[in-house]
Amino acid sequence: MLNSDEVKRLALAVGFDACGIARAEALTDEEYPLHEWIARGWHGDLAYMERNADKRLDPRLLVPGARSVICCVSAYGSPDPDRTDGVAAYAQHREYHKVVKDMLYDLRQRLGIEAKVCCDTVPISDKHWAARAGLGRIGRHTLLITPQWGTWVNLGELVTTEECTAYDSALPASHPQLATCGTCHCCVDACPNGAIAHDGPPMIDVRRCTAYYTTHHSRPLPPDVDAHGYTLGCDLCQLACPHNRLNR
C-alpha cells in the first residue's frame, strides 16, 4: 500500500510540478469520447488509435491488475515571443519525452515499486488521466487545462498494481478557477482550419490540424490547411484560451 501523500511529495522531489492519483478504472465515453472520434474518422490515418482503443480507455488492459494511475505534471511555460522559427511552445524548451520519462523512472525507483512508465508513446491518454486525477480539465481544444499553468504542461504517468491510501477525482464543472468552457469558443475561432468541434464533446479533426502534419513530416501539408507560419506543432488554439492568458 502506497501512502498517497508520500507519493505526491516524492513526485515534487524528482522535479514534477503537480501529482494526482486516480484509481485504475475505465474512462467513460463522456470523459474520453474516443469511439465517437474514431467513428467520425477524425483520427485520420492514426491507425494505432484504433488498434489500442480498449487499452486507452482502461489501463487494466495495459497493465494487468493495475490499481493506480499516478499522474504527474511538468510545466514548461508559454511560447517564447522572440522565436521566429514557427516552433510551438512544447518543442521550444526541451525534448520532453526524455525529461518526463527520466523523472518518472526516478519516482518509480524512489517508491520501490513495479510500474509502467507512460509518456505520450504508450497507449494511455495522458491528458484524460490527468483530468481524472483532478489536475485540470479537458478544454474544447482537447488539451488539459491546469489551474496553475494553463495548457503549457507535459504529462506522464506510472501505472501500477499497487493500491494507494487515497485517490483523487475529477474537478467539478463549477471549479472556481476552471469552470467548463460554457459559451466560450475562442479556440474554435482561433483555429485557421476549423479543426475544433464547435459543440459537443471536445474533439479535433486531426486532418484539419497543422500539428498532425508538422509533427509527422511524412504527411505533406494539404493546400487547404493553413499552417499560419508554424513549422512544428501549432499554438494558436492555446494562445487564444483565456486560461492561458491568465497563466502567461
Binding site for ligand SF4 (CB under 6 A): 139-141, 181, 184-187, 190-191, 193, 195-196, 204, 209-211, 234, 236-237, 240-243
Residue 221 C-beta: closest distance to ligand SF4, Å: 11
By C-beta, is 111 or 241 nearer to ligand SF4? 241
Beta bridge partners of 2: 164
Among candidate residues 109, 74, 72, 125, the one with its CA nearest the CA of residue 95: 74
CB nearer to ligand SF4: give 100 or 196. 196
The one catalytic residue in 29, 120, 189, 235 is 120
Q: Judged by CB, which is closer to ligand SF4: 156, or 233?
A: 233
Question: Minimum Å distance from CB 142 to ligand SF4?
Answer: 8
Cα radius of gyration rounded to whole Å, the chain? 18
As given in the structure block, the three cell numbers for residue 4 are: 498517497
The least CB distance from residue 20 to ligand SF4, in Å, is 20
CA nearest 211: which of 47, 126, 83, 88? 88
Residue with cell 477525482: 169
Q: Output the smallest distance, CB 202 to ligand SF4, in A.
A: 8
Residue with the closest Cβ to ligand SF4?
A: 139
- Identity of the amino acid at 184: C
Nearest distance from C-beta of residue 198 to ligand SF4, angstroms: 10
CA atoms within 13 A on the CB side of 96: 22
SS (H, E, C) 28-45: CCCCCCHHHHHHHCCCCC
Nearest CB to ligand SF4, comparing residues 100 and 186:
186
Q: Residue 177: what residue type?
A: Q
* Active-site residue flag, 205: no
Longest dimension (CA), the chain: 55
Q: Between 52 and 180, whose beta carbon lies closer to ligand SF4?
A: 180
Active site residues: 120
